[in-house]
Structure 1
Amino acid sequence: MAQRHSAGLLLFRRTSGTLEVLLAHMGGPFWARRDAGGWSLPKGEYADGEAPLAAARREFVEELGLAAPDGEVLELGTVRQSGGKVVTAFAIEADLDPEAVVPGTFEMEWPRGSGRLQRFPEVDRVAWFDLTTADEKLVVAQREFLRRLEERVDTR
């Protein structure tokens, strides 16, 4: 089986001296009741030959319905999630109103085996979190991106 790759943008801002990150709660029936470990940076898969940063910007638009912000891009490297997918992340300092998000949708058979296709939002909510709270909410493997961001950003 071919290696699956995703790329995403981790927006961050400073609010009263506190570093905050924008996370998206994964949509669909599997994640509906899960909070801890049910959040992710806005990201998505990309094919060989597509630049990871270009994919991260494209996926930001697909998942949140908003243009990816401009600004200095910080490379946060890659992590391997428990399912084997390799995620590449980039951080950009920018502010964004979570209420402005218009998530994209995906279609899947639900309930499984029913033969019925249903449409679900890519993400069902978006919010800003301080790094301690974000560490509790994020998918386990992606928590490393928070540590890398904190190392790279002046939090004074």
Structure 2
Amino acid sequence: MHHNVSAGLLLYRLNTGRLELLLAHPGGPYFENKDDRYWGIPKGNLEIGETIVEGAVREFVEETGIDPDLTYSIYLGSAPGKYKRILHIWAFEGDWDVSKPVQSNAFQLEWPPQSGQVCLFPEIDKIDFFSIAEANRKIEREQLIFINRLEKRLLGSNYQSQLDLLPKIAHG
């Protein structure tokens, strides 16, 4: 089951009454000049023995360097993702100074191709907050559904950043 399941976390904040979402941009030479439809929710594949929530937290920390507080979070459900994977996403409220350098894990890639030279690239090279309209333009198409679900949950109920009203996350 775990080889086709991915999980992630979507950090959101209210900035002067405007809902903003933290999205991540993939690192490496193939994504260097790519923007719209290339940003995404920090996420990744589960490791053996890991619960979906544990995998979501681990991937978020590995990709952003941010330690999430999931005391109050919203399960946004699952949806089909790339490569026949099922993607599970939780949202949580928080904030982050995006001017800080991204603390992402790295991967090796032969670059340039067939050069014999192996280079190290960050898995995520940028993270930034976007308004709902901006996020809808930036995010990978398969992940649009999670923005819509969060927007309905928060804005559909006159959300005013009251963390104590949000449901607690179910672990496991």
User: Which residue of structure 2 lines up, in the alignment, with residue 137 of structure 1?
Assistant: 138
**Other structure's SS at 1:98 match:** coil
Partner secondary structure for residue 68 of structure 2:
coil
Q: Does the Cα contact within 8 Å between 1:3 and 1:84 map onto a contact in 2?
A: no
Q: For residues 97 and 69 of structure 1, do their structure 2 counterparts lie closer, same or farther at Cα, with a shift above 3 Å needed?
A: farther
Tell me, yes or no, if the aligned pair for 1:19 and 1:155 is still in contact at 8 Å. no
The runs of 4+ residues in structure 1 deviating greater than 6 Å are: none
CA shift, 1:59, in A, is: 0.9
1:54-90 CA deviation, whole Å, 9 max, x = no partner?
1111111111122123431111111222432221110
Q: What is aligned with 1:50?
A: 50
Q: Which residue of 1 aligns with 2:115?
A: 114
Q: Contact 2:108 / 2:118 at 8 angstroms: preserved in 1?
A: yes
- What TM-score does the superposition give when structure 1 sets the normalisation length? 0.90
Aligned residues: 155
Residues 111 and 117 in structure 2, CA contact (< 8 A), matched pair in contact too: yes
Q: Which runs of 5+ in 1 are unaligned?
A: none
- Identical amino acids, percent of aligned pairs: 37
Larger Rg: 2
Q: Which amino acid aligns with 2:25?
A: H
In proportion to residue count, which structure has more helix? 2
One-letter code of the match for 1:11? L
- Corresponding residue SS for 2:78: strand
